[in-house]
Chain A
Amino acid sequence: GQQLNQSPQSMFIQEGEDVSMNCTSSSIFNTWLWYKQDPGEGPVLLIALYKAGELTSNGRLTAQFGITRKDSFLNISASIPSDVGIYFCAGQGPSGGSNYKLTFGKGTLLTVNP
């Protein structure tokens, strides 16, 4: 199936630092999504991007849909301890069968030291 390359695999940062992570694909996607998974819970949607070049913010989070439609990045500014978790990128459509099927990256494990 389709593959997403998400990097970095893990990050250890100090509280207050900014964070950047990204996903790349060999395939084009119509939608890019970013999820966060808290320990022991299911992933929760943070940001959805629907158009190439789109830049969207949600509080301290900013994400962009790459112009080529093959990549996306997520930035977190001024990190706080509750930002700890696993962040997943996901791409949706147009190829690979159903429009509603998501392809996920392997995740970025974020640790924030107070």
Chain B
Amino acid sequence: DVKVTQSSRYLVKRTGEKVFLECVQDMDHENMFWYRQDPGLGLRLIYFSYDVKMKEKGDIPEGYSVSREKKERFSLILESASTNQTSMYLCASTMGDLYGYTFGSGTRLTVV
């Protein structure tokens, strides 16, 4: 089974802190994605990556950046965390051959 592992299930950070959310997949997938999930808003795409060192903005990239130095790891970075970035963050990966995404278990981030 493909595994997508997010390093933390719960995080509490202070406003203004730099926050790193890590995601690792173990099936050599080229495509990786970061979403945030908020009640009533569903899943919104922040950034995605098709290959090492490649990234593209999703629908809500403001306030976020990403890093993909190795194929298996895709990091989401909050340069200066704000309270409106309190959310559930989901990482996903796919082979890209129409089998859909495999999601991690999510990181619930609270910014105080």
Contact = CB atoms under 8 A, between A and B. Distances in A.
Is chain B found bound to chain A in the same assembly?
Answer: yes
Interface of A: 1, 6, 9, 30-31, 33, 35, 40-45, 48, 50, 88, 90, 92, 97-102, 104-107
A35 B96 CA distance: 17
Nearest to A89: B42
B96 A100 contact: yes
Tell me if A's interface is mostly helix, strand, loop or mixed: loop
Contact of A100 (B31, B40, B42, B59): B31
Contacts of A88: 42-43
Interface stretch (B13-21, B63-71, B78-86, B97-105): B97-105
Given A104-B42, A106-B41, A106-B42, A41 B106 contact: yes
Contacts of A105: 42
B25 interface: no
